[in-house]
Chains A and B, each alone.
Chain A
Amino acid sequence: MRRKNNLYLFGMVAVVFCFMLFTFSSISFAQSAIKIGLPIAITGQLSGYGIGEVEAAKIAVEEINAAGGVLGKKLELIHYDTASDHRQTINIVRKLIQQDKVTLICGPLASQEAKLTFPIIEEAKVIAMSPSSLAPGLTDGYKYCFRNTAAEDKLVPLCVEKAKELWKIKKAAIFQVQDDPYGKGMGEEFKKSLAAKGIEITIILPFNQKETDFSAKVTRVLATKPDTMVLAGLYNEQSLIMLEARRQGYEGSFLDGAGFTSPKIIEIAGDAADNSLFISTWSMERKEAKRFVDAFRKNTGKDPQQSDANTYDIIKVFANAIEMANSYTDTDALQKALRNVKNFPGPSGILGFEQKSGDAIRKGYPTIIKGKKYILLED
């Protein structure tokens, strides 16, 4: 009887102690490489962007290290999978800053993640640059937080203009996602641009991520007879809406921005995605992009999409800034160096960075999806 009590007691105490020990041991040791944090999702609904981004970052780091590194040190990526979960992302960013002690972060991936973590990053005076956060206004007023994408509010009017030119649209319906700032912001921008160009908005229907049944919503929208549909969201839901709309006999066009850049749209929606128009800031045809495109194809067997090229250039522009500032810890100097960048030679075509926000200045290429391919419309 006594012995059994002994066992139980010691067992419990030992178990509790073990937990303590293990949790203590997750503290990392100092490194002699320059660490860049990579809080990018490779599972979950953002993985369609994230997997490629991680690959692109790896390619950039390999190239830089093979050429001798930066300031004599090698670059090292500290990657954690955020699993497309917001709380995880916050925890991971905090971990990168406090435990891994990075001064540069390539990420976060999505606008919502950036919205949540930028305040933390800015307060910690760490440099961050996101490859794929496109919500309008995201980096306004930030000193240390950047993104290698153009502000969508500059691109949407171009998109509407082009749609008017191609299809003479008079009526538009908008599907606007509610729980993602990129999609929601895009919806607002399209509302403004469409109204400004005199196009009637017939209905604005909200939807949430992870919704799968759009039959009733599409029926309601089609009853208003729109010429075009704005799908302000991300690729998963966009593809489903396209499929459902075509099934119900819709023959018009679709409009959006970066949501369409993911090839997953073509994979899931197939021919239903025909006549999807958007303004891309990425063109594989550019000669500066060739080396990267080849390397990416070799590593992954796929063509790089917009976010992949953006990520590659983030690493490269970080390295460049470190050299210019002659430091990888003085983040004040680093952000100044970044803002001094002009016409950076790289696949994504960074023309520079804004002064009052962290947006990149990029050129826009109208692109359309047809026959399961992306087709650049000559400007």
Chain B
Amino acid sequence: MSEGYLTGIFIQIGINVILALSLYLPFSTGQISLGHAGFMAIGGYFSSILTVNFGFPLLVAMVLAGVLSCFFGILVGYPALRLKGIYLAIATMGFGIIVQIFFQNFNYTGGPMGFQGMKGTNFILTYVTAIVFSYLIWRLMNSRIGRAFEAVNEDEIAAAAMGINITRIKILAFSLGAGLAGVAGALDAHYVYYIDSHNYSFLRSVEMLLFLIMGGSQVVWGPILGAVILTSLPEVLRFMAGYRMIFYGCLMMFLMIFRPQGILDRRLLLRLKNYLVPWKVSHS
């Protein structure tokens, strides 16, 4: 509560980094989720109940929230295996909205009046979590599993022919992504002190997607960059607060026309690496 205004911004950046990464995971296997706010909601509400109603410490609540969201990720991910591309997008969108409507009516968590009383998110907790996750995901993407993700993304049939268990890979990516969103939801809830269903709208899911798409959807650094830039931007653009969304909309359209892969794509990252670390041998 004694968080300064500036620290607050940094905490929001940290949370958004985790959210962007949570979308990145399924995206790297070719699965688009437009309903990730739903997983965030599950994590947010669950962790809040644990800390406020049952006195759990925040760290424990965060972990449990992540686990629960992960579980729901599996629940949703399984039937989603049958759906591809746009159908998956629509289905996940529907899921996100149903979660939102559920929490709007569910009286144990406050229903439309929302839930309050949480506190405890601070700078250190947020950044340690964000950095740990970033590192783990980076390691994951550079491992065999990460390459399996890429293979599934490129061509599922070929990947299956090579012996990759598509089902397990896709569910792994989807549920991990859901779990991450749940943890972010827990951090977010304990930062804003009050949550209601409007916190987890379709627009929220779109916002997360924007971090990923703008920053770069091909490499781990992409969503991180996207989250940093797009969270700090409103502060810089405070003078045009009313027109902020016009700016974001134009940004989205512009990106889709000229650079759909986002700012940071594989080629750019490689070039940067070459420049920054000339003594390291890099493979393309």
Question: Could you tell me which A residues sit within 8 Å of B by CB distance?
Answer: 2, 4-6, 8-9, 12, 15-16, 18-19, 22-24, 26-27, 43, 86-87, 90-91, 94-95, 98-99, 112, 115-116, 119-120, 123, 178-181, 184, 208
CB within 8 Å for A9 and B275 given contacts A179-B196, A208-B104 = yes
B5 touches A98 (CB 8 A): yes
Interface 1/0 per residue, B186-211 and A, CB below 8 Å: 00000011101011000000000000
**In contact, A19 and B235 (Cβ under 8 angstroms):** yes
Is the Cβ of B194 less than 8 Å from the Cβ of A90? yes
Bound: A115/B117 CA distance, A: 11
Is B229 among interface residues, defined by CB-CB distance under 8 A? yes
| Chain B residues, CB < 8 A from A87 | 192, 194, 199
A sample of 26 cross-chain residue pairs with beta-carbon separation below 8 angstroms, ordered by A number, consists of A5-B274, A5-B275, A8-B272, A9-B275, A9-B276, A19-B235, A23-B9, A23-B232, A24-B6, A26-B5, A26-B235, A26-B238, A27-B5, A43-B242, A87-B194, A90-B193, A90-B194, A98-B5, A115-B116, A116-B194, A119-B116, A120-B1, A120-B193, A123-B1, A179-B104, A208-B112
Among residues of A, the one whose C-beta sits closest to the C-beta of B238 is A26
Q: CA of A117 to CA of B225 in the docked complex: distance in angstroms?
A: 33
16 additional contacts (CB under 8 A) given A23-B235, A179-B104, A179-B113: A5-B274, A5-B275, A8-B268, A8-B272, A9-B272, A12-B225, A19-B232, A19-B233, A23-B6, A24-B6, A27-B6, A87-B192, A87-B199, A123-B1, A178-B111, A179-B111
B5 engages A86 (CB within 8 Å): no
* Bound Cα distance A91, B116 (Å): 15
Report the minimum CB–CB distance from A30 to chain B (whole Å). Answer: 16
Measured between beta carbons, the chain B residues less than 8 angstroms from A116 are 116, 193-194
By a CB distance below 8 angstroms, the chain B residues around A4 are 271
Once bound together, how far apart are the Cα atoms of A179 and B104, in whole Å?
9
Q: Do B236 and A23 touch across chains, with their CB atoms under 8 A apart?
A: yes
State in angstroms the CA–CA spacing of A26 and B236 once bound together. Answer: 9
CA A43 to CA B233, docked complex, whole Å:
22
**In the complex, are the beta carbons of A5 and B194 less than 8 A apart?**
no
Query: Smallest CB–CB gap between B98 and chain A, Å?
Result: 16
Q: Does B4 contact A (CB under 8 A)?
A: yes
Give the residues in chain B near A115, CB-CB below 8 Å.
Answer: 116
Tell me if B159 counts as interface (CB < 8 A to partner A).
Answer: no
A23 contact set on B, CB distance < 8 A: 6, 9, 232, 235-236
Question: Mostly helix, strand, loop or mixed at chain A's interface?
Answer: helix
Most buried by B among A2, A4, A94, A181: A94
Write out the residue numbers on chain A whose beta carbons fall within 8 Å of the beta carbon of B242.
43
How many chain B residues sit at the interface, stated as a range, is 20 to 34
A94-B268 in contact given A9-B275, A19-B236, A22-B236 (Cβ < 8 Å): no
Q: Which A residues are in CB contact (< 8 Å) with B255?
A: none
Give chain B's interface residues, CB within 8 Å of chain A. Answer: 1-2, 4-6, 8-9, 104, 111-114, 116, 192-194, 196, 198-199, 225, 228-229, 232-233, 235-236, 238, 242, 268, 271-272, 274-276
Across the interface, name the chain A residue whose C-beta is closest to B110. A179
Smallest CB separation, A72 vs chain B (Å): 30
In the bound assembly, the distance between CA atoms of A123 and B193 in angstroms comes to 14
Verify A8–B271 contact, CB threshold 8 A.
Answer: yes
Please give, as numbers and ranges, the residues of chain B lying within 8 Å of A120 by CB-CB distance: 1, 193
- A residues in contact with B196, CB < 8 Å: 86, 179
Is the beta-carbon distance between B192 and A184 smaller than 8 angstroms?
no
Q: How far is the CB of B138 from chain A (nearest CB, A)?
A: 18
Cβ–Cβ contact B5 & A5, under 8 A? no
B192 contacts which chain A residues (CB < 8 A)? 87, 90
Write out the residue numbers on chain A whose beta carbons fall within 8 Å of the beta carbon of B8: 91, 94
B203 to chain A, nearest CB (A): 12
Q: Out of B2, B114, B193, B228, which one reaches A16, CB within 8 Å? A: B228
Cβ of A182 to closest chain B Cβ, rounded Å: 11
Is A6 in contact with B232, judged by CB distance below 8 angstroms?
no
| Residues in A whose Cβ lies below 8 Å from that of B271 | 4-5, 8
Q: Which residue of A lies closest to B2 (CB)?
A: A98
Query: Are B194 and A86 closer than 8 Å at their CB atoms?
Result: yes
Instruction: Collect the chain A residues with CB atoms within 8 Å of residue B2's CB.
Output: 98
Q: In the docked arrangement, what's the CA distance between A15 and B236, Å?
A: 11
Chain A min CB distance to B93 (Å): 20
Let me know if A99 and B112 touch, CB within 8 A: no
Kindly state the separation between the CA atoms of A180 and B104 in the bound complex, as whole angstroms. 12
Which residue of chain A lies nearest to B4 when distances are taken between CB atoms in the complex? A98
Residues of B within 8 A of A91 (CB): 8
Instruction: Considering the complex, give the chain A residue whose CB is closest to the CB of B271.
Output: A5
User: A112 to B111, alpha carbons, bound, how many Å?
Assistant: 13
- Complex: how many Å from CA A339 to CA B196? 35
Q: Are B235 and A178 in contact (CB under 8 A)?
A: no
> Contacts A15-B229, A184-B113, A208-B104 hold; do A94 and B5 have CB atoms under 8 A apart?
yes
A-B pairs, top 10 by smallest CB distance, nearest first, are A179-B112, A5-B275, A19-B232, A178-B112, A22-B236, A23-B235, A116-B194, A99-B5, A5-B271, A23-B9
C-alpha gap A181/B236 in the complex (Å): 34
Which residues on the A side are within 8 Å of B198 (C-beta)?
A: 86
Residues of chain B within 8 A (CB-CB) of A119 are 116
Chain B residue nearest to A4 (CB atoms) is B271
Q: Which residue of A lies closest to B197 (CB)?
A: A179
A6 adjacent to B5 (CB under 8 Å) = no
Q: Give bound CA distance, A4 to B274, whole Å.
A: 12
C-alpha gap A116/B119 in the complex (Å): 13
CB B179 to nearest CB in A, in angstroms, measures 25
